[in-house]
Amino acid sequence: MPIKLVIFDLDGTLVNSITDITNSLNYATEPFGLYPKTVEEVAALVGEGITKVIERVLGDERLQYRDDVVKRFLAFYSEHIVDNTFPYPGVKETLERLSGLKKAVISNKREALSIKVLEALDLLRFFDLVIGSDSTNEKKPSPVPVLHVISTMGLTPEDSIMVGDSDLDIAAGKSAGVKTVGVTYGYRDRAFLTDADYIIDEIKDLPLIIQSLC
């Protein structure tokens, strides 16, 4: 059955936002006696939403500060959301090549922040729907957000394909019954993508995979 809907992860798939996330995290945790994290350290932590990242960074001994740190993070990040964030090479060109298909974003970043990033980078115009961690009652790796998007579009899992850089994206897509594509240039090593139906090193290779399924 031809693919009619392409669902993308955001961070690590469409955009490289890790420096802004790292800077915001370090700002948020600085008053609580924590050493700054490197970009590489934060890249290994992200994926399940910023609250989960902050819980891991604080550890049990500082967990009581979680809500304060989350507030500090969100306040700072919303003001510096694309200071150092940019689309990966080939993203805009690939989205243009996919102009005949429905397209959606599912992020574990909050919906308003996801939209803000896409709008600031002139990517929002490519998408029919954007949902975040707070858009449905579950988030990736749950299939709930994937199924929500498919249902909203009036399509079926057989019509759809999920593209992401982490095992969370692949698991969400698999559980929803859609084809999955792992991208290796994001925040996760190739080893995390072994369950994907397809693995690509550059986003520009995506249209060829979709074409092969039609």
DSSP 197-208: SEEESSGGGHHH
Q: Are residues 98 and 190 in the same domain?
A: yes
Extract the residue ranges of the chain whose pLDDT is less than 50.
none
Domain boundary among 60, 79, 98: 79
Tell me if 48 sits within 8 A of 108, measured CB to CB: yes
Domain boundary among 36, 57, 79: 79
Sign of CA dihedral 64, 65, 66, 71: positive
- Check residue 47 and give its pLDDT: 81
Q: Are residues 42 and 27 in the same domain?
A: yes
Q: Are residues 12 and 22 in the same domain?
A: no
Instruction: Give me the domain span that covers residue 193.
Output: 5-16+86-212
Tell me if 64 sits within 8 A of 185, measured CB to CB: no
> How far apart, in Å, are the Cα atoms of 1 and each of 72, 149, 163?
47, 18, 18
- 9: which 2 tokens? 């992860």
Q: Are residues 63 and 129 in the same domain?
A: no
The CATH number given to whatever domain includes residue 71 is 1.10.150
Q: pLDDT tens digit string along 40-96?
A: 999 988 888 889 999 999 988 899 999 999 999 999 999 999 999 999 999 999 999
Q: Are residues 133 and 115 in the same domain?
A: yes
CB contact set of 185 (below 8 Å; sequence gap of 6+): 88, 165, 201, 202, 203
Which of these is catalytic: 9, 20, 167, 169?
A: 9
Q: Tell me the C-alpha distance between 26 and 72, whole Å.
A: 10
> How far apart, in Å, are the Cα atoms of 62 and each of 32, 38, 55, 182?
8, 20, 9, 35
Q: Are residues 11 and 107 in the same domain?
A: yes
Q: Are residues 126 and 203 in the same domain?
A: yes
Among candidate residues 10, 4, 205, 9, the one with its CA nearest the CA of residue 120: 10
- Check residue 204 and give its pLDDT: 97
Q: Tell me the C-alpha distance between 99 and 177, whole Å.
A: 24
Domain boundary among 79, 95, 126: 79
The CATH number given to whatever domain includes residue 132 is 3.40.50.1000
Q: Are residues 183 and 153 in the same domain?
A: yes
Q: Are residues 131 and 105 in the same domain?
A: yes
- Check residue 156 and give its pLDDT: 97
Q: Are residues 40 and 65 in the same domain?
A: yes
| Number of domains the chain contains | 2
- Check residue 123 and give its pLDDT: 98
Q: Are residues 148 and 174 in the same domain?
A: yes
Q: Are residues 137 and 152 in the same domain?
A: yes
9 among known catalytic residues: yes
